[in-house]
Amino acid sequence: MTAPATPLADRLAAALATARGRDVALIASDTMDLVAGAPAAPVPAAVLVAITERPDPGVILTRRTATLRQHAGQIALPGGRIDPADTGPVAAALREAEEEIALPRAAVSVIGTVDPYRTVTGFDVTPVVGVVPPDLPLHPSAAEVESWFEVPLAFLLEPRNQMELSAEWRGRTRHYHEIVWNGHRIWGATAAMLVNLGRRLAWPI
């Protein structure tokens, strides 16, 4: 069970319903840069785009611990692979957010899913958009998450803040997006999914 709709949830739901039929240029993947050892068939995964119910809504992001095998120290949306016990992307995103930062799934007003993204490491990630109350007492799981923070949604979705960059990586040029906020470097798949969300919703709504 998820939380009831809120004014912001209603606005986002209406915007998403209108946007689904819109022809938008999206970043589908970075599969041209797949790393050695990445699975040939994509692994289903999901992340939660948790938007806070404020006059100036924010998005909850995490910084992964430095000891993880993949994406150590990087900034991410709460989420992970879809387990066999999950009923789909929504269930997986809510479960992962609860495990990673103790975000109660019952506190999330789920809006729906948006365009999937294929990551460089072989995951097919479905973003799940939801609205949460502000100032929840969140607690990072020490095994996975070093810290969490909130970034204004308008800042993340503003095209002028979404830099398109490239770098040499493992002998080839990799193209990616980057958003920098208060010293936090948000890049790669996380930035790409936020860029896609902004293009899909045509923010502000």
Q: What pLDDT shows up at residue 171?
A: 63
Q: What pLDDT shows up at residue 142?
A: 86
**Assessment of whether the complete model's pTM goes beyond 0.85:** yes
Mark out the alpha helices in 20-141 (DSSP H runs).
Answer: 89-101
pLDDT tens for the 205 residues of the chain, in order: 567 678 899 999 999 998 887 888 888 886 544 445 555 678 999 999 999 999 999 999 999 885 655 555 689 999 999 999 999 999 999 999 999 999 999 999 999 999 999 987 889 999 999 999 999 999 999 888 999 999 999 999 999 999 988 776 666 667 789 999 999 999 999 999 999 999 998 777 6
Q: What pLDDT shows up at residue 144?
A: 86
Q: What pLDDT shows up at residue 41?
A: 78
Q: What pLDDT shows up at residue 195?
A: 95
Q: What pLDDT shows up at residue 180?
A: 97
Q: What pLDDT shows up at residue 30?
A: 67
Q: Using CA of residue 73, residue 134, residue 111, residue 192, what is the dihedral sign?
A: negative
- The two tokens of residue 157 are 């979705």
Q: Which helix (H) or strand (E) holds 142?
A: none
Give the C-alpha separation, 10 to 15, whole Å.
9
Residue at token pair 């997986």: 92
